[in-house]
Amino acid sequence: MPEIFLTSRQLEVLRLRRKGLSQREIASKLKTTRENVNILEMRAHRNIRKAAATLEVLSKLEIAATLKIPPKTPILRIPLLILKKADEANIRVKMNCIEILREVQLKAEGKIRKKRLLKPLTVIILPDGSLHIR
């Protein structure tokens, strides 16, 4: 099963609710309390709302350019790669090289050793010049 925002227990509660069972009936079937079932159901619906809101925001998000930076890339080279990609997309980045480097070090914590990337880094350049680094 793919990684999702719901636990297996939450999925089970939602499945049983769809079948028309009451929270009390589900609690009896799962050998738990009705309050527990209520909490599981509420959290499941909250997670579903959050996931839907996230998808909505992403669908509205325009991406001017995406840059995948491979492992072993020296971190001092990363700002130049980002600025070059932004130039190709005719986007003016809102940060200078030092600010970009600080942001990379912050977002890539645990992915850098001996001033090189250990794992790939993805940089998303938005039309307004802001960066999302993951």
CB atoms within 10 A of CB 13: 28
Residue 59 binned pLDDT confidence (cut-offs 50, 70, 90) = low
Domain coordinates in residue numbering, the chain: 8-60, 65-133
Q: Stretch 44-51: mean pLDDT, rounded?
A: 94
| Model confidence pLDDT, tens digit, residues 72-129 | 999 999 999 999 999 999 999 999 999 999 999 998 888 999 999 999 999 989 888 9
Question: pTM score, two decimals?
Answer: 0.58
Residues whose CB is less than 8 angstroms from the CB of residue 80 and which lie 6 or more positions away in sequence, other chains included: 97
